[in-house]
Amino acid sequence: MEASMESSDGVDGGTMGKIDLWHGDPSVVDLTNRVHLLPCVVKHDGPCPISHYFKPRKSDLVCDGLAVEEAFFRGRKLQGVTVSIPEGYRGYVLAKKKLTGGSDMEANSWVSNAEFQNITYWNHDGLPSKQDPLTRCFQWFAVADALHEPITKEELAFASAAQDN
């Protein structure tokens, strides 16, 4: 299946992009339970023996119904929880699509090579909670749905009637 994304950029005056999501393809790597979001930037891009060094373990703490895990990175103690990506949504790992030619469209072409259904995010100093930005991000889905819902005739009539009054 191929989905495409278009976006416009107010500064540049409009660009086009394309993302191929190989949804349902059995060859796509499933990274569920393996995606971690750390509260830091690691200036490294490449393979890394994570499972030999990064050893999350269960703690006795529970926060907003989620089991808190503990891990250490570079001497810092991290506390994290694993949150599911809401129903109907999915996480993707994108890579630049290799294309020949050089149009703008091709320069902004991406392909997903892995997917995930949950993410473990880690806080430094402070327990994870429902107030964390990542958890609250998911609220956008409901707002976006409401914003993009087509307006029915009745609603329009109701709104204009309200304005007339």
Partner 1 sequence: MGSSPIPKWASRPCVMGIDEAGRGPVLGPMVYGCLYCPLSYQKALETLNFADSKTLKEEKREELFDNLKANASIGWEVDIIDPRELSAKMLKTEKINLNEISHNSAIGLVRRVLGMGFLLSEVYVDTVGDAEKYRNKLSEIFPGIKFVVAKKADSLFPVVSGASIVAKVTRDRALRGWVLDETAENMHNKFGSGYPGDPQTKAWLDHHKHLVFGFPTLVRFSWGTCTPYLKDTVEVLWECDALAEDSTNNGSSKRQVKLSKLGFIGCKRKSEDVESSGKGRCKFFSARKLELVTHFK
Residues forming contacts to partner 1 in the complex (CB under 8 A) are: 7-9, 12, 15, 17, 39-44, 48-49, 51-55, 72-77, 94, 108, 110, 124-125, 133-134, 136-137, 139-140, 143
CB of 161 to partner 1, least distance (A): 29
**In whole angstroms, what separates CA 114 from the centre of its chain?**
13
Closer to partner 1 by CB, 65 or 75: give it.
75
CA atoms within 13 A of residue 123's CA, in its CB half-sphere: 17
CA distances 67 to 60, 116, 122, Å, are 8, 19, 12
d(CA 135, CA 85) in angstroms, rounded, equals: 10
Closer to partner 1 by CB, 28 or 93: give it.
93
In contact, 63 and 69? CB cutoff 8 Å: no
CB of 88 to partner 1, least distance (A): 18
Closer to partner 1 by CB, 23 or 136: give it.
136
CB of 31 to partner 1, least distance (A): 18
Pairing of strands 18-20, 109-116: parallel
CB of 159 to partner 1, least distance (A): 22
In contact, 100 and 114? CB cutoff 8 Å: no
Closer to partner 1 by CB, 71 or 82: give it.
71
d(CA 42, CA 90) in angstroms, rounded, equals: 25
CB of 128 to partner 1, least distance (A): 14
Closer to partner 1 by CB, 12 or 164: give it.
12
